[in-house]
């Protein structure tokens, strides 16, 4: 593996607020093989850029390990050590390959092996620098070549990205968006890196330019055999570019697998919705419209963080009394107001509610009638009577993990948890 991350986590602190963290990347495992293009898709704010920056140490992780250039068997050993909580063995391997503690000259040497291209071609090039100096910067700063050689390399790189050599004397503002992105690309691959992070390299470009840049990227990959992490929110682009796909949602990987598997046969409910949401000229798929918005990273939903929007959420996906209360209130006040006069609802705990002045039997009927429309009602485990009122108890929730299917396919969803599957068979 050219790079592998384990339990990688990045929490951003909020200035002036104690104990409030933006959980941008939350316990992520990712690995990229030599020469492989890995696509990372997800909505904006899901932590894709943060993950990309972590992998090349542009920012430091809160916790977790990043291993560079680690042979597959040793990574396997490392994983086993992690699983067995064998800290000593894990540390031994980590010390050999970890980049999380690199400093000074070592870090600089590492920089030579990685490159990055950013989304916005207008802000990623210093307006006061000539194109030549921009492209040569990584070569000179990482001491990859001598300054004289760097000059020649710049011309070579300009050829490589199909720009005229004369451009080296120009300034960024004299170039169009597509041309600038080519310059950024030339800079990204200037030191013959083994891994390039492409952070939405075409999102700011027009489709006709995007197509050309994508083509160029593919041919460069072929030539240099470098690994790429292709970050984008556009699943169609990923489907064109990558060998493998990681789907990210609210700081976590939801699904990973080979491109064809994920695109043709998505398993995670979020992936399914994401693919179906893409506008298509010839629609073949029933569109699933997700309700609501991605969650606030400061205060994530319990259990599976996708559950408030999940169209097939299970009773144990993370529902709490806080989520149930407004739904019940709404139903009681509108549709069923005739049957429940003077009702009030109190939260007794994360998994317990009291409905005052309500008959449990009637409540049960309402829940049964409405659970198809509001999945939160599924989370009700029992409705007991308590004098004049009813006590509602919820199922205990479970937090999913990445469940291995086959062929290096993994899905973060309780639907694939064998014990859960037993308990809640879906029709």
Partner 1 sequence: MMENRKHDSSPIVKIENLHLHYYTRRGIYKALNGVNLEIRRGEVLGVAGESGCGKSTLGRAIMGIIPRNAAIVEGKILVDGVDYLKPLREYFKKAKKFKPTKNQDLLKKVNEEMSKIRGQKISMVFQEPMTTLNPLLTVGYQISEVLFYHNPGLLASRRLARARATKEDTKNIVKILKEEGEGERLRQYLKNRNIMGLEDQIISIWRRKELHDLKKEQMILELCCEPISSMARGYLEQIEKTNSLPKFSKLPIVGRIVKRELLKEAFKKSAEFLGLLGIPDPDKVVYMYPHELSGGQRQRIVITTAMINNPNLVILDEPTSALDVTIQAQILELVKELKEKINSTYMFISHDLSVLSEVSDRIAIMYAGQVVEVGPKSAIFNSPKHPYTQMLMEAIPTIEAHELKGIKGEVPDMRNPPKGCMFYPRCPYAMPICKEKRPPLFKVGEDHYVACYLYGGEKK
Partner 2 sequence: MSAQKTAKEDKHRELKLSMEVFFSNKSAVAGLVIFLFYFFDAIILQFFPQVMPFKHPYSLTPNYVNPIPLPPSKKFPFGTTYPGVNLLTAIIKSIRLDFWLSLAVVVPGAFLGVIIGIVATYFGGLVDEVLMRITDIVFSIPYLVLAIAIGYVLGRTLDSMMIALILVWWPLYARYARSVTLEVKEITFIEAARAAGSSKMKIMFRHILPNSLPPVFVQMSLDLGTIMLTISALAFIGFLPAANLPELGYLTSLGYNYVETAPWAMIIPGMFIVLFALAVNLMGDGFRDVIDPRRRSAL
The token duo for 381 is 């485990």
> What is the contact mask toward ligand ADP in residues 260 to 299, using x (rule: CB under 6 A)?
-------------------------------------x--
Nearest approach, Cβ of 22 to ligand ADP (angstroms)? Answer: 5
- Residues 6+ positions from 83 with CB-CB distance below 8 Å: none
Nearest approach, Cβ of 190 to ligand SF4 (angstroms)? Answer: 38
The stretch near ligand SF4 (CB under 6 A) out of 44-52, 310-318, 337-345, 353-361 is 310-318
Looking only at residues 36 through 95 of this chain, which bind Mg ion when binding is defined by CB under 5 A? 49
Q: Is 420 helix (H, G, I), strand (E, B) or coil?
A: helix
Identify what 312 binds: Mg ion, ligand SF4, ligand ADP, none; CB under 5 to 8 Å per kind: ligand SF4
> What is the contact mask toward ligand SF4 in residues 264 to 303, using x (rule: CB under 6 A)?
-----x----------------------------------
The token duo for 256 is 């990973």
Residues near partner 2, by CB under 8 A? 53, 56, 58, 107-108, 111-112, 114-116, 118, 120, 123-128, 137-138, 141-142, 164, 166-167, 169-171, 174, 184, 187
| Nearest to ligand SF4 of 244, 305 (CB atom) | 305
Report d(CA 4, CA 29) in Å as an integer: 7
Angle at 410 between CA 406 and CA 411, to 5 degrees: 125
Q: Which residues pair with 65 in a beta bridge?
A: 6
Which phi and psi (to 5°) does residue 223 adopt? -75, -45
Report DSSP letters for 229-260, one per residue: EEEES-HHHHHHH-SEEEEEETTEEEEEEEHH
Of 255, 268, 264, nearest to 285 by C-alpha is: 264
315 near ligand SF4 (CB under 6 A): no
| Nearest to ligand ADP of 50, 179 (CB atom) | 50
Q: Is 344 helix (H, G, I), strand (E, B) or coil?
A: strand
Looking only at residues 158 through 197 of this chain, which bind ligand ADP when binding is defined by CB under 6 A? none
Residue at token pair 């495992």:
29
State which of residues 3, 28, 31, 42 lies at the interface with ligand ADP (CB under 6 A): 42
The stretch near partner 1 (CB under 8 A) out of 2-10, 235-243, 317-325, 378-386 is 235-243
DSSP 294: P
| Nearest to ligand SF4 of 329, 417 (CB atom) | 417
Nearest approach, Cβ of 249 to ligand SF4 (angstroms)? Answer: 9
In b/e form, how buried is each residue of 316-338, taking b as 16+ CB within 10 angstroms? bbbbbbebbbebbeebbeeebee
Nearest approach, Cβ of 323 to ligand SF4 (angstroms)? Answer: 12
State which of residues 116, 163, 184, 274 lies at the interface with partner 1 (CB under 8 A): 274
State which of residues 1, 4, 47, 132 lies at the interface with ligand ADP (CB under 6 A): 47
Tally Cβ neighbours within 10 Å of residue 215. Answer: 12
In b/e form, how buried is each residue of 123-138, taking b as 16+ CB within 10 angstroms? ebbeeeeebbebbbeb
The token duo for 195 is 């891994």
| Cβ-contact 68, 112 below 8 angstroms | no
| Nearest to ligand ADP of 13, 333 (CB atom) | 13
Helix (H) or strand (E) holding 263: helix 259-264
Which residues make up the interface to ligand SF4 (CB under 6 A)?
269, 304, 306-307, 310, 312-314, 317, 400, 413-415
* Site of interaction with Mg ion (CB under 5 A): 49
Residue ranges in contact with ligand ADP by CB under 6 A: 12, 22, 24, 42, 44-50, 297
């Amino acid at each position: 593996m050219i790079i592998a991350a384990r339990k990688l986590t990045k929490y951003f602190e909020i200035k002036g607020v104690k104990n409030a963290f933006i959980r941008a990347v939350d316990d992520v495992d990712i690995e990229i093989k030599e020469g492989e293009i890995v696509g990372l898709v997800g909505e904006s704010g899901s932590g894709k850029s943060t993950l990309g920056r972590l992998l090349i140490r542009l920012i430091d992780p809160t916790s977790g390990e990043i291993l560079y250039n680690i042979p597959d068997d040793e990574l396997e050993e490392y994983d086993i050590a992690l699983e067995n909580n064998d800290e000593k063995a894990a540390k031994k391997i980590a010390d050999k390959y970890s980049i999380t503690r690199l400093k000074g000259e070592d870090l600089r040497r590492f920089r030579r092996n990685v490159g990055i291209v950013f989304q916005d071609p207008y802000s990623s090039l210093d307006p006061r620098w000539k194109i030549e100096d921009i492209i040569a910067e990584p070569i000179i700063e990482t001491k990859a070549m001598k300054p004289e050689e760097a000059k020649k390399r710049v011309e070579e790189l300009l050829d490589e990205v199909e720009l005229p050599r004369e451009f080296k004397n120009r300034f960024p503002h004299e170039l169009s968006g597509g041309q600038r992105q080519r310059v950024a690309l030339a800079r990204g691959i200037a030191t013959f890196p083994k891994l390039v992070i492409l952070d939405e390299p075409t999102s700011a470009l027009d489709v006709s330019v995007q197509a050309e840049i994508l083509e160029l990227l593919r041919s460069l990959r072929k030539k240099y055999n470098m690994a790429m992490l292709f970050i984008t929110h556009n699943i169609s682009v990923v489907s064109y570019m990558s060998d493998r796909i990681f789907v990210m949602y609210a700081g976590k990987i939801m699904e990973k697998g080979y491109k064809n598997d994920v695109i043709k046969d998505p398993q995670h409910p979020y992936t399914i919705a994401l693919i179906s949401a893409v506008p298509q000229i010839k629609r073949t798929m029933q569109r699933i419209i997700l309700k609501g918005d991605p969650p606030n990273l400061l205060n994530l939903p319990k259990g599976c963080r996708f559950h408030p929007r999940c169209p097939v959420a299970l009773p144990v996906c993370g529902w709490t009394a806080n989520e149930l209360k407004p739904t019940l209130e709404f139903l009681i006040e509108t549709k069923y107001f005739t049957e429940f006069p003077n009702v009030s609802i109190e939260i007794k705990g994360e998994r317990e509610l009291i409905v005052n002045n309500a008959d449990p039997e009637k409540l049960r009927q309402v829940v049964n009638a409405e659970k198809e429309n509001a999945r939160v009602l599924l989370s009700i485990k029992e409705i007991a009577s308590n004098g004049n009122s009813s006590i509602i108890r919820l199922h205990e929730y479970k937090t999913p993990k990445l469940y291995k299917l086959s062929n290096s396919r993994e899905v973060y969803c309780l639907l694939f948890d064998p014990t859960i599957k037993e308990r809640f068979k879906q029709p």
